[in-house]
Amino acid sequence: MKKTTLIRIFIRSFFIHTTLNYRRMQNLGFALSVIPLIREWRLQKTDSEKMMIRHLQMFNTNPYFSAAVIGSIVRLEEAQAGKGDAADVEIVKKSLMASYAAIGDIFFWGALRPLASIVTVILAFAGSVFAPVVFLLVYTPVHIWIRFKGFLEGYRQGKKGFEFVRALDLPRVAVRLRWGALILLAGSVIWLVNDGYGPYRDLSGIMIRLTVLLLILLCLSLIKKGISQLYIIYGSVLIFFIISWAGFF
């Protein structure tokens, strides 16, 4: 396959979420991505129609891992020249989209994005005009790299393209990022306390520090009981909003 065709397929994979629909989710975006492959092969009308129908079926995964799935499927389609038995392609496609969806949601939605958001909010509260830029610098390079590397490894290894994603061990990385988010939240509370922020300014220093320590220990105990760090993060943010709102009245 020409390198220019692979580049076009990869670029099109960025738009897989733009045609999201509730009937077959990302199927239109997936079919759009493989069109350059059909054009290069110049298949007969019946063969190209079969291939398009095959990839217009239900498809849904984390958008940042969609390129990895597309790379593996393009390699399988190339191996059978678009004319062989499609059963193998469908099996691999469904298995990859399900596993990548779970891994991607845990890592991106449940860990990296909350962490980047917390960093951005802290910088914005400190008065930094570069806070939105910092969010992009923390978040964007990671998903761009996973898109690109995942597509390359998927195309190179075909069915075994998942080896790249498995080697990243993203669920374990997600746990560490969530711990980092909790530490940042606790640190931001201490910073707000020392800065004399709103609802805390009337409390004594010892009581404030004891309260912060108790909150941290409470979070640790909740984690040990099996409660998701994501729930703790969002719950903490909600509690802080309530305290802040109450402190101004």
Q: pLDDT band for 3, please (50, 70, 90 cuts).
A: confident
Q: Is residue 61 domain-shared with residue 35, that is, in the same domain?
A: yes
Q: pLDDT band for 64, please (50, 70, 90 cuts).
A: very high
Is the pLDDT higher at 224 or at 140? 140
Q: Is residue 121 domain-shared with residue 225, that is, in the same domain?
A: no
Q: How far is CA 197 from CA 53, 135, 189, 194, in A?
A: 59, 24, 9, 8
Number of domains in the chain: 2
Q: Is residue 22 domain-shared with residue 103, that is, in the same domain?
A: yes
Q: What is the pLDDT of residues 86-138, one digit of tens each?
A: 777 888 888 888 889 999 888 998 889 988 888 888 888 778 888 889 899 98
Nearest one of 57, 94, 45 to 73, comparing CA atoms: 94
DSSP state of 84: S
Q: Is residue 72 domain-shared with residue 149, that is, in the same domain?
A: yes
Of the candidates 115, 141, 168, which is a domain's last residue? Answer: 168
Of the candidates 168, 202, 227, which is a domain's last residue? Answer: 168
Q: What angle do CA 98, 101, 220 make, to 5 degrees?
A: 125
Q: Is residue 27 domain-shared with residue 135, that is, in the same domain?
A: yes
DSSP string, 90-135: HHHHHHHHHHHHHHHIIIIIIIIHHHHHHHHHHHHHTT-TTHHHHH
Of the candidates 168, 191, 213, which is a domain's last residue? Answer: 168
Cα separation of 93 and 55, whole Å?
A: 9
Mean pLDDT of 21-33: 89
Q: Is residue 142 domain-shared with residue 211, that is, in the same domain?
A: no
Q: Is residue 184 domain-shared with residue 120, that is, in the same domain?
A: no
pLDDT at residue 213, rounded to an integer: 67
pLDDT at residue 205, rounded to an integer: 57
Residue 25 dihedral angles phi and psi, to the nearest 5°:
60, -110
pLDDT at residue 70, rounded to an integer: 92
Contacts of 187 (CB under 8 A, 6+ apart): none
Is the pLDDT higher at 209 or at 60? 60
Q: Is residue 217 domain-shared with residue 150, that is, in the same domain?
A: no
Residue written as token pair 């063969």: 47
Q: Is residue 147 domain-shared with residue 174, that is, in the same domain?
A: no
Q: pLDDT band for 68, please (50, 70, 90 cuts).
A: very high
Q: What angle do CA 147, 31, 96 make, to 5 degrees?
A: 50
Q: Is the pLDDT of residue 145 over 70?
A: yes
b/e code 195-228 from CB counts within 10 Å (16+ = b):
eeeebbeeeeeeebeeebeebbeebeeebeeeee
Cα separation of 38 and 12, whole Å?
A: 14
Q: Is the pLDDT of residue 65 over 90?
A: yes
Cα separation of 147 and 97, whole Å?
A: 14
pLDDT at residue 210, rounded to an integer: 65
Q: Is residue 17 domain-shared with residue 120, that is, in the same domain?
A: yes
Q: Is residue 80 domain-shared with residue 200, that is, in the same domain?
A: no
Q: pLDDT band for 191, please (50, 70, 90 cuts).
A: low
In the chain, the percentage of residues whose pLDDT exceeds 90 is 19
Q: Is the pLDDT of residue 185 over 80?
A: no
pLDDT at residue 23, rounded to an integer: 87
Q: Is residue 44 domain-shared with residue 76, that is, in the same domain?
A: yes
- Domain of residue 97 covers 1-168
